[in-house]
Amino acid sequence: MPAYRLSGSSRSVAYVLGTIIVCLLCAHATGLVMRLGFDHDSVYGLVPLFDVNVEGNIPTFFSVCLGLCSSALLAVIALDAKNRGDRDAIYWTVLAAGFLFLSYDECFQVHERMTGPMRAMLGGSDPENGARLGLMYYSWVVPGLIGAFIVSLFFLRFMLRLPVATRRRMLLAACLFLGGCLGMELINGSVMESHGDSLLYNVLVMVEEGLEMTGMATLIYAMTSHIAASCDRLEVNLHAGKTATVRANLDRRSATDAASRSMTM
């Protein structure tokens, strides 16, 4: 049976992901023009299909896939580290589990369920009564910021032990992703509370989602580059269990029969 091998470079992966991100943002921008400029909210369903501020569409699917790919790559590195007895295997494992959860959260928007309780704790957001939250309008960012700080402390020593190139790429990915999902969310909340669903708000949302997707793509580039630098070869072997054993026995039997015939002659 012929063997098949899929190969590629980290740069080509990053190029493909970057191209998809640009295309998705351009599609969102086009839909934004149609919705706010020409008052066409659907255009045969294409506007919501590519709206990065709407869930359950193509940008959401792509973000979930980015998270799953990141988790899978981190799991591969964790498994390799465990097989080598590397003490950092636990950190790679935690990262893999974390990005798996981020994919789940992106799909089902778990973090947004914290907004209501956090708003109640912060005094609500009622413009009629003068109770405005400003930067904390999307109040889930409060536990998000606390969680990001704790995670940073947990991974500090691990990051310092990484190869310089991997560390720089991972830090860049973290800055892009957190800058989008936390930094821009603070700004977007204030704009949403003050101006509502305006052009400015939608442009800022596009920047936010673009930063998040770019951060994920940067992490995938960092992980593929790390695997390429630290592993001579990564193989995935598939076999059919007993079928492969039977085939091997048949091959040996055929070779034995052929040798016997040659001796007889």
Question: Which pLDDT does position 1 carry in this prediction?
Answer: 47
Which amino acid is located at 116 in the chain? G
The separation between the first and the last C-alpha atoms of the chain, rounded to the nearest angstrom, is 31
With tokens 């695997």, the residue in question is: 227
Cα-Cα-Cα-Cα dihedral sign, residues 47, 48, 54, 56: negative
Q: What is the pLDDT of residue 65?
A: 96
Q: Sign of dihedral through CA atoms 11, 16, 20, 22?
A: positive
Cβ atoms of 189 and 141 within 8 Å: the answer is: yes
pLDDT score for 230: 76
Query: What integer pLDDT is reported at residue 146 of this predicted model?
Result: 94
Mind listing the pLDDT tens digit of every residue in the chain (265 residues)? Answer: 455 555 667 889 999 999 999 999 999 999 999 998 898 989 999 999 999 998 889 999 999 999 999 999 999 999 999 998 999 999 999 999 999 999 999 888 888 788 778 877 777 655 445 567 788 888 889 899 999 999 999 999 999 999 999 999 999 999 999 999 999 999 998 899 888 888 999 999 999 999 999 999 999 999 999 998 876 455 555 555 544 554 555 455 555 555 554 554 4
CA distance 166 to 226: 6
Domain residue extents for the chain: 10-230
What pLDDT is recorded for position 252?
A: 59
Contact residues for 133 (Cβ-Cβ < 8 A; gap 6+):
119, 122, 123, 124, 125, 139, 189, 193
Stated pTM of the model: 0.83
